[in-house]
Structure 1
Amino acid sequence: MRRETERLILREFTAGDWEAVHRYASDPVVTSHMIWGPNTEADTRAFLESAIGMQQQAPRVDFELAVVLKENGELIGGSGLRSFDPRQGEIGYCFNRSHWRNGYASEAASELLRFGFEELGLHRIFATCRPDNLGSAAVMRKIGMTFEGHMRGHMFHKGKFHDSHQYSILEDEYFAGKKKGHSL
């Protein structure tokens, strides 16, 4: 699977992506808001093995994609979509912090919305972030998602319970935004 946006290529991960993925996945600043990490080398290799294994699903329901700059082929992060019944999906993204605040997460996430609604026929796509992850919340709002609520203490990782903010967008909202000329 390969998708292109104005500045990005979203493509399947390969074993050769290990070093680029490990650069951001082992960074404590990048992973401070994630439920995983900072990764050890073994963690990153296991992630890539899992992402490559997803490529063999039939029917495919999990899409973990490398995000690469068109201009130079540099792998700058990852973005994913998990679909499940009834016609629901969840997106996520993680980027090397040297590429934060350039609109890449919004661009990649917008493409995942397009893929989910226009190709997979999903009805609802949601995403979550930790309440203090203001950058991720801004991405979700920018791509047209609506804040649904604050989930308290619903996740246990890194030795403690964590809260999350949940955002979503429905298919009719997505297509209404496209009709109005929004780039979502």
Structure 2
Amino acid sequence: MLQTKELPEIPKIETERLILRKITTDDVNDIFEYASVPDVTTFVLWETHRAKQDSLDFVKFAEEQFDNNISIIFGIEIKNEKKLIGTIDLRNWKAIHKCGEVGYVVSKKYWNKGYVSEAMKAVIKFGFKELHLNRIEAHCEEENIGSWRVMEKCRMKFEGILREKVFIKGRFRTMKMYSILKKEWKEL
């Protein structure tokens, strides 16, 4: 199975409207623009960015995650705007099980425009074709309707409720779990 250390760098993936690519220090202003908005960070594990240094630290974190074979964090850039609007990552894959997990965050200005679904379909394809995964899963908070709708649009199947699975921002959160298997996947 392909591991990130076999990839010389984070690949660039193009879709109809997006470029998924490595994030760099040049993206700090765009990252801060969305990561400093409390509505955007309500359902993520990390805290709202309070200073651009938080966004710079995230860029360094993304690089370390890739270098240490933990995850591939792609920046989501709108082609015609040349603007980073969020990130999508493939993480927690296990070579022996050929399983991975996808997660994402996007600027509120770009919600409900199909960008996350478009990015997710591209990352699912990358996971199955390039990393040779058999299963890709995703979790979201039960209350995060927009997120589980993205999963359903990408033909992921609802597998169940994980009661009080994670402790985020001072309280336990119940998660919904979705997945798609390689044999169920067709070019989305």
> Is TM (by shorter chain) over 0.5?
yes
- Take 1:106 and 1:75, find their aligned partners in 2: how far apart are those partners? 16
Distance 1:66 1:111 in 2: 13
RMSD over equivalenced CA pairs, Å: 1.3
Q: 1:110 aligns with which of 121, 124, 132?
A: 121
Q: Would you say 1:95 and 2:99 are equivalent positions?
A: no
Segments of 5+ residues of structure 2 without an aligned counterpart are 1-10
CA shift for structure 1 position 53 = 2.4
Residue aligning to 2:173: 162
Deviation for aligned residue 1:84: 2.2
Identity of aligned residues (%): 38
Matched, 1:8 2:40: no
Match of 1:75 among 80, 84, 89: 84
> What is the aligned residue count?
175
Provide the rounded CA distance (Å) in 2 between the counterparts of 1:138 and 1:162.
18
Following the alignment from structure 1 to structure 2, what is the Cα–Cα distance between the partners of residues 76 and 43? 17
Pairing of 1:24-35 with structure 2 (within 5 A): 24-35=34-45
Other-structure match for 2:63:
52
Secondary structure, in 3 states, of the residue corresponding to 1:101? Answer: coil
Q: For residues 59-89 of structure 1, give each alpha carbon's deviation from its aligned partner in whole angstroms, at most 9, with x where no partner exists.
A: x451101110111201111111012232111
Residue 49 (structure 2) aligned to one of 39, 43, 46: 39
Aligned to 2:154: 143
Structure 1, unpaired ranges of 5+: 179-183
- Whole-Å separation in 1 of the counterparts to 2:128 and 2:49: 32
Distance, in Å, in 2 between the alignment partners of 1:132 and 1:104 is: 20
Q: Compute the displacement of 1:6 (Å).
A: 0.5
Asked whether the equivalents of residues 124 and 169 of structure 1 are also in contact (C-alpha less than 8 Å), the reply is: yes
Q: Determine the C-alpha separation between the residues in 1 that align with 2:171 and 2:113.
A: 32
